[in-house]
Amino acid sequence: MALDKPYLDIPGTTVFDTDQAAAGYALNQFCRSLMDADNRERFHADERAYLDEWPMSEDQKLGVIARDLNGLITLGGNIYFLAKIGASDGQSYLQIVSSMTENDAAGHAEMMLNGGRSPDGNRYLHEWKDRT
Amino acid sequence: MSARITAAVFTSHVPAIGVAMDLGKTEEPYWQPLFAGYEAGRTWIQDNPPDAVILVYNDHGNAFGLDMVPTFALGMSPSYEPADEGWGPRPVPSVQGHPALSAHIAHSVIQQDFDLTLVNEMPVDHGLTVPLSIMFGQPEQWPCPVVPLAVNVVQYPVPSGRRCLELGKAIRRAVESFDDDLNVQIWGTGGMSHQLQGPRAGLINSAFDNAFLDRIVTDPEGQAGIDHVEYVREAGSEGIELVMWLVARGAMADLAGGPPPQEVHRLYHVPASNTAVGQLILQDDAT
């Protein structure tokens, strides 16, 4: 019997479960390597060469180079690990997080100052069915 | 007199709060109202200084990668260094541990059927250092030793609210059987509502948060029955951190047959970066 995953019907949200962790293991461990200043320097000197040291899929490597965080989450990335890419770029969490939304960084900051994204209309997948 | 838990402090641990302090931005209009709100807690802890703090928090891929994912990890070390999370380490003091209290908690709590992972070496990230900054400001040294208890809330499944509350009860029994005369506070950190990932990022649910603040005071056993999926749906994927508050709540006297705690401080503020900020101080034996 398949395990129950009651969180799959939450829109715009990927819960980082053990299946996601398995898919993203090398990707997330690469991200964690950026905790080291020397590794950050090597990564920025030649991103492709640094990524090729890791047993990641081609899609994961291209996603890192493009800073496509939504794509990387689909491929098993976890936000706390992925945030280390943005951290190594000198970005704040606000900037990193905004890149996954419909807003730019300023628009996201403005939304947060106005109380954030309401839960209303954002609880269930069916509430997002008309969104592209 | 043996050791006793005298109070619980509950607080968000948003990294940007630490950055605001580290970069001297606390008087800027964005931050000033929040830090003004923190003054009451800082005054309280000056009047009620702990001999040791058991600090319940989560690591964010810093001490633990995905090579090891302990559900409950207890720090055993005499000291812990601030982690380099990718921006460089925070410019805050090293954290002094309390190895004797850690060893006693491990001995007692594991025999109460909680399979703690014991960690002799680990850096500590913003989950632990930001609460210290919020409560103690910017001292040369932190004023008391800290026993870190890291809870996995990053990779699912995470422990249930019920499990967290029961762990707190076990920690209370452990502390009360420690022979040193020690005034111990337990801090539960993380939350409140926030989501850092995906197109739904930026979710804030102040109604949920304020109901949580009410209920963790008056009905922690009821709050412990709330499923993970409700936290994620209502408070955002990272709002699940709130289960860690239940560990601290479980260690208070009323859940061991004593009187209810006194609420001495409460704060709620939106936003800090992407997150709703909560703070609550509950005191036992308040006189």
Please say whether the beta carbons of B206 and B276 come within 8 A. Answer: yes
Report if residue A1 sits inside a domain. Answer: no
Report if residue A9 sits inside a domain. Answer: no
Report if residue A45 sits inside a domain. Answer: yes
- The answer to whether A6 contacts chain B (CB < 8 Å) is yes
Report if residue A5 sits inside a domain. Answer: no
The average pLDDT across B254-270 equals 97
Q: Would the pLDDT of B286 be above 80?
A: no
Determine which one of B13, B60, B98, B194 is catalytic. B194
3-state secondary structure of A66: helix
pLDDT digits (tens, 9 = 90+) for A14-45: 999 999 999 999 999 999 999 999 999 999 99
The pLDDT > 90 percentage for chain B reads 98
Q: How far apart are CA A93 and CA B60, in angstroms?
A: 13
Which of B274, B275, B277 to probe by mutation at the A interface, max A CB count within 10 Å? B274
A13–B232 C-beta distance less than 8 A: yes
**Reported pTM:** 0.97
Please say whether the beta carbons of B35 and B277 come within 8 A. Answer: no
pLDDT digits (tens, 9 = 90+) for B94-134: 999 999 999 999 999 999 999 999 999 999 999 999 999 99
> What DSSP character marks residue B261?
P
Which of B153, B160, B200, B206 to probe by mutation at the A interface, max A CB count within 10 Å? B200
Q: Is B263 exposed, middle or buried (0-12, 13-18, 19+ CB in 10 A)?
A: middle
Phi and psi angles of residue B3, each rounded to the nearest 5 degrees, phi first: -70, 155
**Which of A13, A31, A83 minimises the CB distance to B200?**
A13
Show which of residues 9-68 on chain B sit within 8 Å of chain A, judged by CB atoms. Answer: 15-16, 19, 60-62, 65-67
Task: Please give the distance of CA B59 from its chain centroid, rounded to a whole number.
Answer: 11
In angstroms, the separation between the Cα of residue A73 and the nearest Cα of chain B is 8
Which DSSP helix (H) or strand (E) runs through B91? none
Q: Give residues with Cβ within 8 angstroms of A92, minimum separation 6.
A: B16, B19, B273
Nearest to B230 by CA among A18, A9, A12, A129: A9
Residue B282, by phi and psi: left (phi above 0), alpha (psi -120 to 50) or beta? beta
Crossing angle of the two packed helices A25-33 and A58-66, in degrees rounded to 10: 40
Per the structure, the complete domain to which residue A74 belongs is given by 17-128
Nearest to A14 by CA among B230, B190, B228, B195: B195
How many domains are there within chain A? 1
In angstroms, the separation between the Cα of residue B201 and the nearest Cα of chain A is 7
CATH number at residue A120: 1.10.700.10
Gyration radius (Cα) of chain B, Å: 17
Identify the pLDDT of residue A132.
Answer: 60
Look up the ipTM and state it.
0.96
Q: How far apart are CA B278 and CA B54, in angstroms?
A: 19
Identify the pLDDT of residue B60.
Answer: 96
The average pLDDT across B71-75 equals 98
- Please state which architecture CATH assigns to domain B4-283: 3-Layer(aba) Sandwich (3.40)
Please say whether the beta carbons of A54 and A29 come within 8 A. Answer: yes
Q: Is B192 exposed, middle or buried (0-12, 13-18, 19+ CB in 10 A)?
A: buried
Q: Where does the pLDDT of residue A130 fall: very low under 50, low under 70, confident under 90, or very high at 90 and above?
A: confident
Identify the pLDDT of residue B205.
Answer: 98
Which structure tokens are listed for A29?
């461990």
B200–A15 C-beta distance less than 8 A: no
Residue B98 catalytic? no
pLDDT digits (tens, 9 = 90+) for B3-27: 999 999 999 999 999 999 999 999 9
Q: In what order do the strands lie in the sheet with B4-11?
A: B117-119, B72-75, B146-151, B52-57, B183-189, B4-11, B275-283, B262-272
Identify the pLDDT of residue A113.
Answer: 97
Please say whether the beta carbons of B166 and B225 come within 8 A. Answer: no
| Residue ranges of E strands in chain A | none
pLDDT digits (tens, 9 = 90+) for B43-56: 999 999 999 999 99
B87–A87 C-beta distance less than 8 A: yes
Chain B positions in Cβ-Cβ contact with residue A102 (cut-off 8 Å):
199
Report if residue A95 sits inside a domain. Answer: yes
Domain boundaries along the sequence of chain B = 4-283
Nearest chain A alpha carbon to B270: A115
Which of B31, B197, B228, B238 to probe by mutation at the A interface, max A CB count within 10 Å? B197
Identify the pLDDT of residue B93.
Answer: 98
